A and B are shown apart, each in its own frame.
Chain A
Amino acid sequence: DTAVSQTPKYLVTQMGNDKSIKCEQNLGHDTMYWYKQDSKKFLKIMFSYNNKELIINETVPNRFSPKSPDKAHLNLHINSLELGDSAVYFCASSHSGGTYEQYFGPGTRLTVT
Chain B
Amino acid sequence: ILNVEQSPQSLHVQEGDSTNFTCSFPSSNFYALHWYRWETAKSPEALFVMTLNGDEKKKGRISATLNTKEGYSYLYIKGSQPEDSATYLCAPNYGGSQGNLIFGKGTKLSVKP
Q: Which of B61-69, B73-81, B95-103 contacts A (4 or more CB under 8 A)?
A: B95-103
Interface string of B80-100 (1 = CB under 8 A from A): 000000000101010111111
Q: Is the CB of B49 within 8 A of A100?
A: yes
**Interface contact B31-A98, CB-CB below 8 Å:** yes
B103 touches A101 (CB 8 A): no
Interface residue tally of chain A, by bracket? 20 to 34
For A107, the closest partner residue in chain B by CB is: B43
**Inter-chain residue pair count (beta carbon < 8 A):** 56
A17: min CB distance to chain B, Å: 26
Q: Interface range on chain B: under 10, 10 to 19, 20 to 34, or 35 or more?
A: 20 to 34
List, in ascending order, chain B residues with CB within 8 A of A83's CB: none
Task: Establish whether residues A98 and B99, one from each chain, have CB atoms under 8 Å apart when the complex forms.
Answer: yes
- The complex places the Cα of A105 from the Cα of B89 at a distance, in Å, of 16
Instruction: State whether A45 and B100 are in contact (beta carbons under 8 Å apart), knowing that A101-B46, A104-B45 are contacts in the complex.
Output: yes
Q: Mark A71-101, 1 if CB is under 8 A from B, else 0.
A: 0000000000000000000100000111111
**Shortest Cβ-Cβ A-B pairs, 7 listed:** A101-B46, A104-B43, A45-B100, A43-B103, A98-B97, A99-B32, A104-B44
Known: A33-B100, A56-B95, A96-B98. 18 other contacts (CB 8 A): A40-B105, A48-B98, A48-B100, A55-B98, A56-B98, A56-B100, A90-B43, A98-B98, A99-B51, A100-B49, A101-B34, A101-B46, A102-B44, A102-B46, A105-B43, A106-B42, A106-B43, A107-B43
Can you offer 12 A-B residue contacts whose CB atoms are under 8 A? A41-B106, A43-B91, A97-B97, A98-B95, A98-B96, A98-B97, A99-B31, A99-B49, A102-B44, A103-B46, A105-B43, A107-B43
